Structure 1
Amino acid sequence: MALSSSISYLFLYIFIAVSSGFPINSLETKDHQSVNQTFRSAQQIYKLKKMIATRLQEINKPAIKTIQSPDGDIIDCVLTHKQPAFDHPLLKGEKPMDPPENLRRYNQIRNTSDHFQLWSLSGESCPDGTIPIRRITEEDMLRAHSINSFGRKFPNASIHEYAVISEGNDKFYGAKGAINVWTPNLESWREFSVAQLWLVAGTPGKDLNSIEAGWQVYGRLYGDYLSRFFIYWTGDDYNNGCYNLMCPGFVQTNRKYALGGAITKTSTYKGKQYSITLKVLKDKQTGNWWLGVDEYGSEYLIGYWPSKLFTQLKNGADEVNFGGEIVNLKTTGPHTSTSMGSGHFPEEGFGKAAYIRNMQVIDTDYNLKAFKNPSHRVTNLYCYSMVERDSDPNWGHYIFFGGPGRGEKCP
């Protein structure tokens, strides 16, 4: 369900207050009348709207075809060499690269009656030579902390909670795993719930580099509570980088998938289960990190993070992680009721709890391997947890994870 557009002007006023030095958190708790008293003039509103329009023009590239998605998204089919990535100072003048030889077996597109994302349900698709990009609207911008922070993660690490399994103490050239897809509940549109794989190198708080991919529910970013396929990257400890194609960086090469697009099929409690198999692989020759998806028995490359974006990931990842993450803003005082995974604890098992199966790391010789010395990071055991399973003929190394958030054991 989409967030009401009637609150757009309140967000606009908050933007003005932020630009004038007023703390956003205090403004969000005031009633509409007192908030209005902090705003200066219609001129400022005009100026801010003009700033937003300029930013939207930078993000939204000219489309040669437009597709209306059933969930309300507008998908623009943009020429591949005109995508946002090539606005990055380090990538200007470049064109999309071909995949490395060992990945050329991946299919780039095929006709199928199954549709991974809602925008393609009608049978519409983007033409050859283009990629689908979810159009960013003024309402999307107004929900952000500020124009400059649009598309970025919360900078405050203390509000993030995790249930994660990690493999470290080595160099890795990638990872692969099948991530169970759900639509967890959010207490607030400002919070999110995520299931993902991510590869990191460097030191947190200093020079951390990260590549992330999975699914998320995030009202503030998308304006609804649908489960969406996403990526994220940073080359400087989350000071820069962004979700999907909301800033220059990731180079998309596939016309089948829209980053940030809603996922068609999600799992139900005691019902049918769905998962997405993701693979991230470093190309030795160029240093680029390629993202692939396995869908319905076929493999597709979506695009790559150029090596130029990173400092620490140039030599490979120091750590591979799989699991869940939520943001806990405590908007009502106690712990948030935002759920992780299915919203049920891992002990409930298949069909009830979320899972990630066939978790593997890719070593520097491009061998897929199971975790050897995994470590667990569960930040709030009574709210969200994780159970690891070593081996299964079909599932390999896997975990169940998640939880409901606030409850009897999670005050």
Structure 2
Amino acid sequence: MIFFLNQTAVLMTYGYNYIGASGEINVWNPRVEKLPEFTTAQIWLKNGEVNNFESVEAGWTVHPAEYSDARTRFFVYWTVDGYKKTGCFDLTCYGFVQTSTEIALGGAVDPGSSSFQQQYVLPINIFMDPTTTNWWLVFHDIYVGYWPGSLFSLLKHSATSVEWGGQVYSVNVRKTPHTKTAMGSGNDAEELYGLACFIGQPRILDYSKSYKYPTFVGIWKDEYNCYSAVNYKAGNANDEATFFFGGPGQSYRCP
């Protein structure tokens, strides 16, 4: 993976010491135009410089080059150098240690959502065990496995940023013609529930040991004409916002 070939649309929080994050990731099966392009919806926990960060990541992806088909699949990832030379998907290199036999890393995620039909979610929780400095991945209530703290120099203490959202990897980003690989559901974020992909109940865990909605959040969109994002709060001011993101890639707004 090459950092500058990634386009993201994310909800982010940063500036504190985070030892966990969670969220319910809406499941879709977006289009991937060609190899080796891929698309994800995921959670990142990061520490380090913008182009040389350490991260642990999990969510779903459509990645035909990695999995030999266009199905939506559960994945984990890590890097210690901003994707330059380290890291991999699932168990394809040393790194993530799987402890559960109930969940298949790289396994197909079924069923997926469709427009104005039942919406399915992937509940993901990632947290650090302060005693071992290992980062654990929990799916529903199943402890899938962990990233050893020994992989990291910065993340063995904490993450300094958390991101929830999507990414598209392609050599045809930031250029014309743009890739047609979609993010999320393939619909724009502004189309909201039933059409756009969302991540519900985003939570952070800090040294207070209590999961909570982050105090400060922002939205980042690398290519806002191609992949959009909105943190939408309906009606009641006391309601929690839901983060929507995605888009079709190449379109009349994104030639």
**TM-score scaled to structure 2, two decimals?**
0.94
> Residue 344 of structure 1 corresponds to which residue in structure 2?
187
- Give the C-alpha shift of residue 260 in structure 1: 0.8
- Give the C-alpha shift of residue 393 in structure 1: 10
Contact 1:360 1:397 in 2 (8 A): no
* Letter paired with 1:309: L
The structure where strand makes up a greater share of residues is 2
- Give the C-alpha shift of residue 389 in structure 1: 2.8
Determine which structure has greater relative contact order: mean sequence separation of CA pairs < 8 Å that are 6+ residues apart, divided by chain length.
2
SS of aligned partner of 1:220: helix
> Residue 311 of structure 1 corresponds to which residue in structure 2?
153
1:281 aligns with 2:127: yes
- Give the C-alpha shift of residue 349 in structure 1: 1.2
1:243 aligns with 2:85: no
> Residue 181 of structure 1 corresponds to which residue in structure 2?
27
> Residue 41 of structure 2 corresponds to which residue in structure 1?
195
1:326 aligns with 2:168: yes
1:387 aligns with 2:230: yes
| More off after superposition, 388-397 vs 240-249 | 388-397
Name the larger-Rg structure. Answer: 1
Which whole-Å CA distance do the structure 2 matches of 1:397 and 1:281 have between them?
A: 23
Distance 1:402 1:259, change over 3 A: same
Distance 1:289 1:390, change over 3 A: farther
* Letter paired with 2:35: W
Q: Deviations over 1:263-291 (max 9, x none)?
A: 12111112221101100011111111110
Which whole-Å CA distance do the structure 2 matches of 1:202 and 1:287 have between them?
A: 17
- Give the C-alpha shift of residue 341 in structure 1: 0.5
Contact 1:370 1:397 in 2 (8 A): no
Q: 2:17 aligns with which of 142, 167, 171?
A: 171
* Equivalent residue pairs, number: 252
* Letter paired with 1:359: P
- Give the C-alpha shift of residue 314 in structure 1: 1.0
Q: 1:377 aligns with which of 205, 215, 220?
A: 220
RMSD (Å), alpha carbons: 1.9
Contact 2:219 2:230 in 1 (8 A): no
**TM-score scaled to structure 1, two decimals?**
0.59
> Residue 228 of structure 1 corresponds to which residue in structure 2?
73
- Give the C-alpha shift of residue 300 in structure 1: 1.0
Q: Deviations over 1:137-175 (max 9, x none)?
A: xxxxxxxxxxxxxxxxx22x2221110111001000000
Q: Deviations over 1:210-265 (max 9, x none)?
A: 00000000111111100000000112332212110001111111111111111121
Identical counterparts, % of pairs: 38
Which whole-Å CA distance do the structure 2 matches of 1:368 and 1:356 have between them?
A: 16
Which whole-Å CA distance do the structure 2 matches of 1:190 and 1:316 have between them?
A: 32
Q: 1:401 aligns with which of 236, 245, 252?
A: 245
Which whole-Å CA distance do the structure 2 matches of 1:237 and 1:398 have between them?
A: 28
The structure where helix makes up a greater share of residues is 1
Distance 1:272 1:364, change over 3 A: same
Q: 2:205 aligns with which of 354, 362, 369?
A: 362
Once superposed, which parts of structure 1, at least 4 consecutive aligned residues long, lie more than 6 Å away?
Answer: 391-395
> Residue 290 of structure 1 corresponds to which residue in structure 2?
136
Q: Deviations over 1:335-382 (max 9, x none)?
A: 011111110011111111000000010011211111211121101111
Query: How do 1:146-157 residues align onto structure 2 when only pairs under 5 Å count?
Result: 154-155=1-2, 157=3
